[in-house]
Amino acid sequence: MKKRIVIALGGNALGSNLPEQMIAVKNTSKAIADLIEEGHEVVISHGNGPQVGMINNAMDMFGRSDPKHPTFTPLSVCVAMSQAYIGYDLQNALKEELINRGIKKSVTTVITQVRVDEDDPKFKNPTKPIGPFMDEEGKKLAEAKGLTVVEDSGRGYRRVVASPLPKEIIEIDTVKNLLSSGEVVITCGGGGIPVIRQGNHLKGVGAVIDKDFASSLLAKEINADFLIILTAVEKVAINFKTPNEKWLDNITVEEARKYMDEGHFAPGSMLPKVQAAVDFAASGDNHTALITLLEKAKDGINGKTGTFIKNK
């Protein structure tokens, strides 16, 4: 039965550098093409952790070496760059895989802005590390530009930015129009380019939006049947890596919230994935969230594996 599916790709689906990415997207495309071949309507979102860091570092070094170039490239611009080149590799690899299978479908990357609330409390407590390590001199230069810098586990200083919640996908109508035309859409890369609204103007801000929360919002906006959040394990576990470890197959939103309250999921790894899955599943009785491995996505949709979260 045809489903509308949002797939949130994690870093392991994209590699950590350009050569790895070229290999990774080919394998990723095979798993996505399996779902398309079964007749499902697929929308793809993805992370950009290694990639946006690489771009930020490169722009920073270029600024230091060329006095004509600004020494500070806005993080929103770095996110836009990462969306474009990840999308370029991914859409080409997926298109090639579809052609090899005799499937005639276009694949399009949408450079996507996501509005955040400028009063989000997370702006007052930035915690997301970005960019290179710095010494004392680098710290002073960064702070002179108004950046927040913290000491990082004895390894030096690093810039940290906020991770506000996504409120609005600016290009959502474009995504819907492409879907209605039968296209495979890649959108909300890296959680989206973070912007705030100032009248009719959208201003980029120095922040990183969690890609799983952006994917949940995307899935709700297009009324998807499934949100698949891909991770490094086949299923979610409680009491992880303890003698009482238990892998979860089917749980309700209420059960998932109970497990979160009990502290079963680690912040910065599984917790935001479960939170995003719950957010989507709770938004409608026909909405199902699935957390599993990339290579198990097809089996998961067919009910054979993964952790399913539903409202009831």
**Annotation marks residue 128 as catalytic:** yes
95, 235, 273, 298: the catalytic one is 273
Task: Provide CB contacts within 8 A for 228, sequence distance 6+.
Answer: 5, 6, 7, 8, 289, 290, 291, 292, 297, 300, 301
CA distances from 98 to 4, 106, 312 (A): 18, 9, 36
Nearest Cα residue to 191 out of 48, 90, 91: 48
128, 220, 298, 310: the catalytic one is 128
Q: Hey, what's the torsion of the CAs at 63, 68, 73, 74, to 10 degrees?
A: 160
**Annotation marks residue 273 as catalytic:** yes
Cα separation, 172 vs 166, whole angstroms = 13
Rounded to the nearest 5 degrees, what angle is found at the Cα of 302, between the Cα atoms of 87 and 103? 45
Residue 151: φ, ψ to 5°: -75, 135
Helix (H) or strand (E) holding 41: strand 41-46
According to DSSP, residue 190 is labeled G
Helices (H), 101-171: 136-144
Nearest Cα residue to 129 out of 70, 194, 72, 206: 206
12, 27, 92, 311: the catalytic one is 12
95, 211, 235, 310: the catalytic one is 211
Burial of 301 (0-12, 13-18, 19+ CB in 10 A): buried
Query: Which positions are catalytic?
Result: 11-12, 128, 211, 273
